Structure 1
Amino acid sequence: MGRITITSTLTLSFFLIILVYSASANNSIPKGLSYNFYNKTCPQLEDIVRATLAPVFTNDPTSAAALLRLMFHDCQVQGCDASILIDVSNSASLEPPELGAKKNFGIRKRESINQIKSRIEEECPGLVSCADIIVLAAREAVAISGGPRIIVPLGRRDSISASSSEDADASLPAPDFGVDDALSLFAKLGMTTRETVAIMGSHTLGVTHCLNIMDRLYRPSDVRGSNMDPRFEALLKFSCPENIPFSQNISFVLNDPSTFIFDNLYYKNSLQRRGVLRIDAELPLNTRTAGIVEQFAANSDDFFQEFGSAFLKLSYAGVLTGNHGIIRSMCNFVDN
């Protein structure tokens, strides 16, 4: 049994409030990862990541959601190996790599990972993987938005190839996936039901593109989980009109009103039938998850604690360590 130490940071006016947690984790750290992996070889690593991202978060408040999504999509396709960063033009395969998958539409802030990598290469050349940088950037995204500060073990290595776009689309969840799908998907990563409900709380950040909710809005008989507050439904339909198809890729709706803050409002909205996606609507209705949603809506500390554990389990998915994989010199390019 390992120990997770989590601190939550919230900025209120000029005051910084730090909440410290200590919780047991049911997941063991994969062989090759450790909490002090770079202590001797690159002790300034986390400071570099934080300093590089500070202006990114300041200039673009949507960056936190984008970096968190980047990690999720990387780790769910052949593991946390930075394969999502490999450019189409740099793929050794004749097939489009995973970045070109339909479900990777809207993936952003890959350039921020490249910026961090460039800074690290100046200080610690050839030592730090892009896979670790993605995880650290996502961790910072959660913390800077007011969520838990999660201490993550490091030591991941980068893949030498990307998955095909077809395989990536098969691995990533569909916009209309529900509770059964979520529990099955995240159980494969060792997550409990509570952790699965917590990891869905990442929807508290960011937006949802209209394209992903058109069936739910206009063809509810085809998609379960269509139960929705009528006023909220009217708002979504106003933002995502069915008769303007070309706008569905560029138009979006906020996941919740506090879209830049990592909080438990996601669960409160779900209980009020204001969930944007099908999974958001089903969580408070399913007997296996309803009580957990109510608990997280009432107590953000409980949500943060479970989210920290779930985040770690996601970050362990399919990791390459030791002699497996490489350390890329450029994150979007596989070295010869």
Structure 2
Amino acid sequence: MKMGLRELTMVLILWGSCCLFAGGNGELVLHFYKKSCPSAEMLVKEEMKRKMLSDISSAAAILRLDFHDCQVDGCDGSILLGNSNGIITETLSDKNFGIRKVDIINEIKGSLEKICPETVSCADFIQLAARDAVYLSGGPYIEVLTGRRDAVSGKKERADNQLPTYDISVSEFIEVFLQKNISLEDGVALMGSHTLGVSHCRNFQNTLWPIKDDTLSLAFSGMLEMICSNPTLSDISFAQNDATTLYFDNQYFIDIQSGRGLLKIDSEIATDPRTQPYVTAFGQNTQHFFDRFSSGFLKLSNYKVLVGGKGEIRRDCRFINS
């Protein structure tokens, strides 16, 4: 059977990620739970379907939860830990403002524990849930590698120090991804996750006051000024990330080229000569965006994972086992 160009591209992306991140001990592989919990991936997908039917915004929330977990000491499920055993939850960090739907992960874990006790890590099914959130919203299907184990510690201070700020510069943005062996093109593609969800005024009002970002269109900046006119409501007032906020598509890249960049970094990657060519290319070709997003997602999801005898498989994602 001949392999089409798209299929060949995805095979090469997956092969590259396996070679970069899966060690000689079979650390991360496709379908790690095929024998130990064969229904695990299907259960996660069905749970995500159910959650998205009841609240379509769940997709954006789970994808953001996933990215924020991976940014802090790697993809280890530490963001799910609550306050116990001297742990101060990462979700209390100001940089994790707006993190929600953690309960979805806890509920999925509860379902998994009933059929496969102490088998599937919280770190793994955050990745699976995020993959399904993207796919069920119209995005690409990403063959996520599994075999991660869970962190036994988490600290708010780590999130404070390691998560990017809402007003990150392009140079800082480039450095964040290069540190994780993610190319600039793939890093820009990962910014396309902003195609889902909303942002609160507190995170983008610096583009309006005290000096308005002159790359914003007059109509768009006027709308944002109306939404964010009451500073006491900046934590609850919000705007859509792009014009198709419920669908995973390339509209984000189209919008930011027409003066509709919500966050400072959105506007800047559309004009900075280092990133602008990728923004243009993704805005013109949805499949190209999907391919590079898949590549970046795999690399980020396999960043600094715990494998083998490291960490543990938590029985409850909110607490370490002992």
Identify the TM-score tier after normalising by the shorter chain: over 0.9
The RMSD of aligned alpha carbons is 1.8
Read off the aligned partner of 1:92 and give its amino acid letter: G
Q: Does 1:210 align with 2:201?
A: yes
* 1:1-336 pair list within 5 angstroms: 22-25=10-13, 26-27=16-17, 28-31=20-23, 32-88=27-83, 90-93=84-87, 96-163=88-155, 165-220=156-211, 226-241=214-229, 244-336=230-322
Distance, in Å, in 1 between the alignment partners of 2:140 and 2:190 is: 13
Distance, in Å, in 1 between the alignment partners of 2:167 and 2:102 is: 26
Q: CA deviation at 1:36?
A: 3.0
Structure 2 portions without partners, runs of 5+? none
Read off the aligned partner of 1:247 and give its amino acid letter: L
Distance, in Å, in 1 between the alignment partners of 2:301 and 2:211 is: 34
Distance, in Å, in 2 between the alignment partners of 1:320 and 1:270 is: 37
Distance, in Å, in 1 between the alignment partners of 2:210 and 2:5 is: 42
Distance, in Å, in 2 between the alignment partners of 1:39 and 1:74 is: 25
Distance, in Å, in 2 between the alignment partners of 1:198 and 1:305 is: 9
Q: CA deviation at 1:20?
A: 9.2
Distance, in Å, in 1 between the alignment partners of 2:151 and 2:295 is: 25
Read off the aligned partner of 1:156 and give its amino acid letter: R
Structure 1 portions without partners, runs of 5+? 8-18
The verdict on how the C-alpha distance between 1:6 and 1:331 changes in structure 2, with shifts beyond 3 A counting, is farther
Which shifted more, 211-220 or 66-75?
211-220
With the length of structure 2 as denominator, give the TM-score of the two structures.
0.93
Distance, in Å, in 2 between the alignment partners of 1:39 and 1:6 is: 28
Q: Deviations over 1:9-60 (max 9, x none)?
A: xxxxxxxxxx996352344233211113111111111111012122200010
SS of the equivalent of 2:12 reads strand
Q: CA deviation at 1:167?
A: 2.3
Distance, in Å, in 1 between the alignment partners of 2:294 and 2:76 is: 20
* Greater strand share, structure number: 1
Distance, in Å, in 2 between the alignment partners of 1:186 and 1:309 is: 13
Q: Deviations over 1:77-128 (max 9, x none)?
A: 111111111112x2424xx331210111111111111111111111111110
Read off the aligned partner of 1:22 and give its amino acid letter: M
Distance, in Å, in 2 between the alignment partners of 1:297 and 1:71 is: 24
SS of the equivalent of 1:253 reads strand
Structure 1's consecutive aligned runs of 4 or more residues displaced over 3 angstroms after TM superposition are none
Indicate the percent of aligned positions where both proteins have the same amino acid. 42
Distance, in Å, in 2 between the alignment partners of 1:97 and 1:219 is: 33
Give the length in aligned residue pairs.
Answer: 312
Q: CA deviation at 1:170?
A: 1.5
Q: Deviations over 1:139-193 (max 9, x none)?
A: 0000000000000110000011112x22212211111112111111011111111
For the 8 Å contact 2:243–2:255, the answer to whether it is kept is no
SS of the equivalent of 1:22 reads helix
Read off the aligned partner of 2:61 and give its amino acid letter: A
With the length of structure 1 as denominator, give the TM-score of the two structures.
0.89
* Greater helix share, structure number: 2
Read off the aligned partner of 1:87 and give its amino acid letter: G
SS of the equivalent of 1:202 reads helix
Q: CA deviation at 1:268?
A: 0.4
Distance, in Å, in 2 between the alignment partners of 1:6 and 1:116 is: 36
Distance, in Å, in 2 between the alignment partners of 1:291 and 1:144 is: 28
Read off the aligned partner of 2:216 and give its amino acid letter: M
The verdict on how the C-alpha distance between 1:324 and 1:289 changes in structure 2, with shifts beyond 3 A counting, is same
Read off the aligned partner of 2:163 and give its amino acid letter: L
Read off the aligned partner of 1:292 and give its amino acid letter: Y
